[in-house]
Amino acid sequence: MKLVVANESHFKYAQIICDTIAESAKVRGTGIAKRTPEYIQKKLSNGNAIIALDGDKFAGFCYIEVWGHEKFVANSGLIVHPDYRGHGLAKAIKGRIFELSREKFPNAKIFGITTGLAVMKINYDLGYQPVTFSELTDDPEFWKGCQTCKNFDILTRTERKMCLCTGMLYDPERKEKDKKKKEINSKSFKRLKSIKEALFFKKENK
C-alpha cells in the first residue's frame, strides 16, 4: 500500500472516489456533502490531497481545503474503500493529510465536521478537540458545501449554530500554550520532588 500526494496522474480515480463516498453514505444512512468527479479532480491536482493505492487499485483518499484566507483548513472527504477497512488505513491517511496541512499551512487551525465515530477517534488522537460551530470558519463557501447534505434543513433552522455533525478543531496556538504549560508544570514538579527528597533524606540520616 502506498500513500502519496495526489496529482493529475490520479484523475482516473475521481469517479471511483465519488462513487465510494456516495455508496458509503447510503449504507450509513447519514448525510454527506456530494462531490462530483470534476470537483475531486480539482482536489487531485492542487497538491492538497492524499491518495492510497494498492498497486493500481484505489484504497483511500482525503483532501485539504483552505478557508477564511488560510486562517482555517479542513481535512475533508475521508474515504476508505470497503475492501480495505478495519486495518488502520483511515488513521494512516488522516495522519499524512494532517502532516501535509501542518507543513503547508503552519498557522492555520485545522478542523473537520463529522458524524463518524471512527473519524472522531482519529481526530482526537491527532490532538483535535470537539467544539461548537461558532469556533469553526464562518466562510460561507465552506457551509455551502453542506447544501447537498440531507440534513441541511437542520443547519439552516439553527442558523448554522448546530447540526448532526460534530465540529472538531486543532488549534496550533493553543497546542503551543498547552505544551509550555506542561513544561512549566513538569519543572515545578521536579523542583518540589527534589525538595521533598532532600527533606526526607535529611530526616533519615538524623
Ligand X SMILES: CC(C)(COP(=O)(O)OP(=O)(O)OC[C@H]1O[C@@H](n2cnc3c(N)ncnc32)[C@H](O)[C@@H]1OP(=O)(O)O)[C@@H](O)C(=O)NCCC(=O)NCCS
Cβ-based nearer residue to ligand X, 148 or 185: 148
Nearest Cα to Cα of residue 93 among 12, 4, 28: 4
Query: Closest separation between CB of residue 33 and ligand X, Å?
Result: 9
CB contact set of 58 (below 8 Å; sequence gap of 6+): 13, 16, 17, 20, 51, 52, 81
| Least Å from the CB of residue 86 to ligand X | 5
Is there a contact between 18 and 11 (Cβ–Cβ < 8 Å)?
Answer: no
Smallest gap from Cβ 170 to ligand X, in A, equals 16
CA gap 105, 129 in Å, rounded: 19
- Coil vs helix vs strand at 14: helix
163 three-state secondary structure: coil
Residue numbers at the binding site for ligand X (CB under 6 A): 24, 78-80, 85-91, 114, 116-119, 121-122
By C-beta, is 64 or 80 nearer to ligand X? Answer: 80
Min. distance of Cβ 148 from ligand X in angstroms?
14
Complex with ligand X: residue 147 or 194, whichever CB lies closer: 147
Name the residue nearer to ligand X (CB basis): 142 or 194. 142
